Amino acid sequence: MPPAHSLVAFVAATFVLLLVPGPAVLYIVNRSVTGGRAVGLAAVAGLEIGDAIQAIAAAAGLSAVVATSATAFSVVKWLGVAYLLLTGIRTLARPPEALRVDAGATPRAHVLRQGILVNALNPKTSMFFLSIFPQFVDPRRGHAVTQSLILGAVFVILASITNATYAVIASHLGSRLVTSRSLPAVRRWVSGGMFVGLGLLAATVRRSNA
């Protein structure tokens, strides 16, 4: 079990990040606008199955790292900090791509399968989990794989709730959400700022424990 303060911090950081529209949210919005609420929720289900697969893989990887040495785990933590900062800076520096909406609805089964592939085979999702988990796992408590799996389960639960909310909202607002002028600004500035802030926070916490 992760330390209570780490678990609370993880929940807060995850919840904030999930509220910011990213690639997964844009996929959900796309499917919800074109296919309605049921199709949007099918997209959510697929994405979260993919998240669960990635979380399990990340937990196994971290367990292997911890078994290797404390130094290796520290290196992974700092690489995670660097990834978070780089992702935030790149997001701030690049204008977001326009959201393209498919012309027609897609069967729910296809959307579900596609959602699984979007997250399960996405290297960016792998990097996200491998950079986030080490910041909240305490190797001194042992059972790193258990700690990581708990964090992964928390992430999937929170993501299911927030993404389902996006699907419902998008299915009601339709094209008005897609053409909103505030969406690109949120995707660029808020999302980029959140990644940079999380990276700086992780770096600060690491230094204070050193």
pLDDT of residue 138: 79
Cβ within 8 Å of residue 39, ≥6 positions away: 31, 32, 105, 106, 108, 111
Torsion of CA 61, 64, 66, 70, to 10 degrees: -110
pLDDT of residue 14: 84
Nearest Cα to 1, choosing from 144, 98, 133? 144
- % of the chain residues with pLDDT over 90: 20
Helix axes 191-209, 70-93, angle to 10 degrees: 150
Q: How many CB atoms are closer than 10 A to CB 69?
A: 11
The 10s digit of each residue's pLDDT in 164-203 is 999 998 888 766 665 666 666 666 777 778 778 877 876 7
Rg (CA), the chain: 18
